[in-house]
Amino acid sequence: MAKRTIRVDRLITVLGGAVILLGVLLLWLVSRNAFGPSEPTPEERAQAQVHRLVGRHARVTYTETGRRRAVCGYIRNGEEVVAFVSRPNRLMLETDPLKQEFDQLQGDLCPGFLKRHGDLVR
């Protein structure tokens, strides 16, 4: 039986092709941000904003996705239930001093937002 040998120039060609394929695969993965941290969902972002502003004890109890990456919802802080509007760079609560701005923002970003029964009666 004849002994098989791999020629050096064929080995270099095969290894070069493998390196190029791996480079293309790595470039494709980097372009898709496969190795970077994933962006949180709007609900996770709202929860983090609520914890920073109100405290760790506050719970987001209801959310609706609004326009332009906004989230509207309710938080429970002890016995108090408060509506909020969360945008990527800002969180507004209905108890903020800027009540008129909150109402405008909520109407613009979450037009079909579920209102509490007491809010509908007024």
pLDDT at position 24 is: 94
d(C-alpha 85, C-alpha 97), whole Å: 14
What DSSP designation does 80 have? E
pLDDT at position 19 is: 95
Which residues lie below 8 Å from residue 101, measured CB to CB, with a gap of 6+?
92
Longest distance between any two alpha carbons in the chain, whole Å:
97
Query: Does the model's pTM come out above 0.95?
Result: no
Q: What is the mean pLDDT of residues 95-115?
A: 81
